[in-house]
Amino acid sequence: MRLNKYIAQSGIASRRKADELTIAGNVKINGTVMRKPGYDVVEGDIVEVSGRKIEPVKKLIYLMLNKPKGFVTTVSDEDGRATVLDLLTDVSERIFPIGRLDYNTSGLLLLTNDGDLAYRLTHPKHKIYKTYRARVNGIISDARLAQLRNGVDIGGFVTSQAKVKVLKGTAHTSLVEIQIYEGKNRQVRKMFASVGNKVIDLERVAMGELYLGRLKEGHYRKLTQEEINYLKNC
Ligand code: URA
């Protein structure tokens, strides 16, 4: 990136002002005065303006991934398992998942380098509904549905009210949509286990008003400006 653009993107001066500062000898690259505004700043260069180290404002990235099963949502894994970052082939920024999905859960996962937003959205007091589709063993009775809706004990924690509906049922399995706003470890699996139904497959299909839609498994896309605004204001 040209030096004057680099300085301008750090927010301290316009490009024209950056040129003036450079020509006047106020800019150093790696400790040496640089008077050429067209110098090409390369990765690793340390740029100082009037004795202060500067960096361009980081580009904020917001992505939605359809996470397949078999990937961890941590940035690295002690056991060497594949992480969701392995799926982001053309992203050079250091980004990280907002919240987590189990190794065997698929579906909507947001990733960003916007630490403020990630922090806000994962804070327990933040009430954004997450919608899951769970395929569970057996029939799920009305009594069990009521228990799930009202709150169940998942081992030292009683879940808050949830929205739950059966989408499809056979004698062997039921497909259930469940919406919760808490994010306890393996919460949905534990909730169904507590009423006697084992989760066979679990997919997150929405977070608040953000929907997975037709995004294919293993694929990702940038959030639209509208979606970003929604997350910032919800
Ligand atoms: N609940 C679970 O049990 N697993 C997930 O991955 C997300 C919610």
Under 8 Å between Cβ of 194 and 201: no
Q: How far is the centre of ligand 1, averaged over its atoms, from the C-alpha of 101 (Å)?
A: 6
Instruction: Decide which of 187 and 77 is more confident.
Output: 187
Under 8 Å between Cβ of 124 and 184: no
Under 8 Å between Cβ of 3 and 34: yes
Q: Pick the residue whose CA is nearest to atom 7 on ligand 1.
A: 101
Residues 186 and 138 in one domain: yes
Residues 15 and 83 in one domain: no
Domain holding 81: CATH number? 3.30.70.580
Q: How far is the centre of ligand 1, averaged over its atoms, from the C-alpha of 35 (Å)?
A: 56
Q: Which 8-state DSSP code applies to residue 134?
A: E
Residues 190 and 218 in one domain: no
What is d(CA 14, CA 103) in angstroms, rounded to the nearest whole number?
Answer: 47
Residues 120 and 11 in one domain: no
Atom number, ligand 1, closest to the C-alpha of residue 183: 8
Under 8 Å between Cβ of 63 and 94: no
Pocket test residue of 102, 178, 203 for ligand 1, highest count of atoms within 8 A of CB: 102
Residues 105 and 169 in one domain: no
What is d(CA 138, CA 234) in angstroms, rounded to the nearest whole number?
Answer: 37
* Domain range for 191: 130-207
Q: Which of 102, 114, 116, 142 is catalytic?
A: 102
SS3 call for 207: strand
Say whether pLDDT at 111 is over 90.
yes
Closest CA to 101 of 3, 207, 17: 207
What is d(CA 19, CA 134) in angstroms, rounded to the nearest whole number?
Answer: 59
* Boundary residue ending a domain (12, 34, 54): 54
pLDDT digits (tens, 9 = 90+) for 121-151: 887 778 899 999 999 999 999 999 999 999 9
Q: Mean of the per-residue pLDDT values for the chain? A: 92
142-150 vs 187-194: helix crossing angle, rounded to 10: 130
Amino acid identity of residue 74, one-letter, is: T
pLDDT digits (tens, 9 = 90+) for 18-62: 999 999 999 999 999 999 999 999 989 999 999 999 887 668 899
Quote the distance between the C-alpha of residue 151 and its chain's center. 27
Atom number, ligand 1, closest to the C-alpha of residue 191: 3
Closest CA to 66 of 23, 97, 94, 21: 97
Say whether pLDDT at 232 is over 70.
yes
Say whether pLDDT at 66 is over 90.
yes
Atom number, ligand 1, closest to the C-alpha of residue 100: 6
Residues 194 and 219 in one domain: no
How many domains in the chain? Answer: 3
Domain holding 144: CATH number? 3.30.70.1560
Residues with CB under 6 A from ligand 1: 101-102, 105, 186-189, 202
45 is catalytic: no
Q: How far is the centre of ligand 1, averaged over its atoms, from the C-alpha of 204 (Å)?
A: 8
Residues 6+ apart with CB under 8 A from 142: none
Residues 145 and 46 in one domain: no
